[in-house]
Amino acid sequence: MKTMKAVRIHSYGGPEVLVHEDAPCPHPGDGEVLVRVHAAGINPVDWKIREGHLKEMIHHAFPLVLGWDVSGVVASLGPGVTRLKVGDEVFSRPEISRDGAYAEFIVIKEAEVALKPKSIDHVHAAALPLAGLTVWQSLFDAGGLSAGQRVLIHGAAGGVGHIAVQLAKWKGAHVIGTASARNHDVLRELGANQIVDYATVRFETAVEPVDVVFDTMGGEIQERSWKVLKPGGILVSIAQPPGAEIAAAHGVRQAFVFTQPNAAQLAEISRLVDAGKLKAIVETILPLSDATRGQELSQRGHTHGKIVLRVV
């Protein structure tokens, strides 16, 4: 195929700069695979890049295809690909400096791709890579969360938060989450030991000291989180870099995580899904042509689970 349908931006801006249009179909190079996209997840990083917030960190050329959460089928192989074959059902959080998955096809490095879980469809598989890797790299790699420790997860019902609750529970941690009252039953089902309704209770008055705070919010929530950490504990943020000085003043540690592709971790996540230990909640499914609405929903916040574009 020479062309495909894709959602691209030709400049930074609001949702109106997203254009559903014909685009050249990419071709895999050395060590790369061409994936027929079946579904693409929508994440806050998508609209942050669209608005230009990350242009100092990631230099993109226009036009740019957005979306870095994908599930699909390998359509062709570039030279040097040895692990995957045509027809494999795969999922990935691809390198974010390249064209993304709001398209019928995407080229991804083989090293960033894992076989998708067999027990779920592409829509639910597309909701997992970025959130799953974000949690894995935040709670386990940066936070060192282990069995018996206490963790506070902010935004526990969100796209990343609900994955964090499940992976922390699988690790054997005591899981505390903040969420609105409408999401409490779901979080209990996912394994949360304690849930704080942020609309009616200040979490710092309701939570005993924890070993790890997982900050998905930043701002005031991050500022108020220092006081709930045990001495020597750690605040891990994916929202904004925590200050080293304020961490030291509280006798704790801090880390900022910007998720990286990792096929080996994705393979572990896939195994947990097929073992019934992890599931993605998808709140909204939209066609590729409705990516603008999907980003608007994501940008409003307060989502329950994930928003996914169904491409096939």
pLDDT tens-digit series, residues 197-224:
999 999 999 999 999 999 999 999 999 9
How do 253-256 and 229-237 pair as beta strands? parallel
Which residue has tokens 């916040």?
301
Is residue 302 predicted with pLDDT exceeding 80? no
* CB contact at 8 A, 39 and 308: yes
Is residue 82 predicted with pLDDT exceeding 80? yes
- 288 burial via Cβ count (<10 Å: 0-12, 13-18, 19+): buried
Is residue 1 predicted with pLDDT exceeding 90? no
Q: What percent of the chain lies above the pLDDT cut of 70?
A: 100
* CB contact at 8 A, 298 and 50: no
The confidence score (pLDDT) of residue 59 equals 85
Is residue 256 predicted with pLDDT exceeding 90? yes
The confidence score (pLDDT) of residue 57 equals 84
pLDDT tens-digit series, residues 83-96:
999 999 999 999 99
The residue type of 283 is E
The confidence score (pLDDT) of residue 254 equals 98
What residues contact residue 67 under an 8 Å CB cut-off, 6+ apart? Answer: 7, 40, 41, 42, 46, 100, 101, 102, 103, 291, 309
Mean pLDDT of 22-42: 98
For the chain, the maximum distance between any two Cα atoms, rounded to a whole number of angstroms, is 59
Nearest to 52 by CA among 13, 100, 2: 13
The confidence score (pLDDT) of residue 156 equals 96
Mean pLDDT score across all residues of the chain:
97
Q: What percent of the chain lies above the pLDDT cut of 90?
A: 96
pLDDT tens-digit series, residues 131-183:
999 999 999 999 999 999 999 999 999 999 999 999 999 999 999 999 999 99
Instruction: Output the six-digit token pair for 243.
Output: 């200050």
Number of neighbouring beta carbons within 10 Å of residue 1: 11
Identical topology for domains 3-128+280-310 and 131-256:
no
Query: Which residues sit opposite 103 in a β-bridge?
Result: 6
Please provide the CATH number assigned to the domain covering 3-128+280-310: 3.90.180.10
Residue 224 belongs to what H/E stretch? helix 219-225
CA distance 72 to 146: 33
- The model carries a pTM of 0.96
Nearest to 187 by CA among 174, 203, 175, 170: 175
Mean pLDDT of 255-259: 97
Residues 108, 113, 57: CA angle, nearest 5 degrees = 60
Structure confidence at residue 19 as a pLDDT band (50, 70, 90):
very high
Structure confidence at residue 303 as a pLDDT band (50, 70, 90):
confident
Number of neighbouring beta carbons within 10 Å of residue 236: 24
CA 175 from chain centre, in angstroms, equals 19
Please provide the CATH number assigned to the domain covering 131-256: 3.40.50.720
Domain ranges of the chain: 3-128+280-310, 131-256
Mean pLDDT of 291-312: 92
